[in-house]
Amino acid sequence: MRMTACLVSFLLFVLPASATQIGADWSQLIDQNARTFEDPFKALTVSQLSDVATVARLRQRLNREELTEDEKTLILSRLELKETSLSKAGIDFDWLISQRWIVADKRKKAAWSVNGYLDGQTIIIKGYFLLAGSLSEKKLLTYLVPEIGMCAHVPPPAPNNLVRLALPEEMELPEKLFTPVEIVGTLRSAPDSITARVVDGPVKMASAWELSVDSMNVFERVSSEATGNWPVAMQASKHLRALNR
């Protein structure tokens, strides 16, 4: 009987701590429903997108600016050229132009919307550790990104795939940028946007998540080529650490 009571106590007070840890991958951080919408611009080539944008811009100039007759003639000639090219390709540019802000709003919602189920949960997630320095104040910022080079040599991920880290003061940080890590902590929806210095200069760090870190397991880097161990990244890492001293 006493043994049964001990076993029950163990199950109640020991197991829940690990049972409530959710193994999360990056796709699970995103609200997949918000990503499901018709985006007519996806079917266009880069050249066609450029032509539609040019048509919209030239029309705005005709409606808003005071133009000389020569300027107006030049704009109308260029406008006709672009509209004819799009029409021959079967593209309804008038409808596309009318949809551009609607689609832009849907894209923004898709980029910021998070999986509400994970809000407040303790998760385990793997990614790459990133240091950044706040440009508005002398402050060290830490993030987790899904791929090497993000926010440095390639653009940042969508806000719902950029995780801001809240680290215990005593926690030792990885020595190198984009060190692969596995983190356990509490994930919370906490939209934030800040301009920070990473490697190549100022970067807008728009993040929809904050992860309060309980533990961080640092993995060995496979090779300098595979993990983006650039000399410039190393210099930036040292400079950013100096910000926090």
| pLDDT, averaged in runs of 10, over the chain (245 residues) | 42 44 93 93 96 96 88 95 97 96 96 96 96 77 93 91 94 89 96 87 93 92 46 44 45
Give the whole-angstrom CA distance, residue 193 versus residue 121.
Answer: 22
Q: What is the pLDDT of residue 222?
A: 52
- The residue assigned the tokens 């018709």 is 38
* CATH superfamily of this structure's domain 116-243: Protein of unknown function (DUF3299) (2.40.50.870)
Residue 228 main-chain phi, psi, to 5 deg: 70, 45
Burial of residue 106, with CB atoms counted within 10 A of its CB: 0-12 exposed, 13-18 middle, 19 or more buried:
middle
Q: What is the pLDDT of residue 122?
A: 96
- Can you spell out the DSSP letters for 167-232? --TTPPPPSSTTEEEEEEEEEEEEEEEEEEE-SSSEEEEEEEEEEEEEEEEEPPPS-TTTTT--HH
Q: What is the pLDDT of residue 154?
A: 87
Q: What is the pLDDT of residue 140?
A: 84
Give every CB contact of residue 228 below 8 A, 6+ residues apart in sequence: 148, 149, 152, 153, 177, 178
Residue type, 81: L
Q: What is the pLDDT of residue 135?
A: 67
Measure Cα distances from 118 to 29, 43, 76, 107 in Å: 7, 33, 53, 22
Domain boundaries, the chain: 40-112, 116-243
Give the whole-angstrom CA distance, residue 172 versus residue 217.
Answer: 11
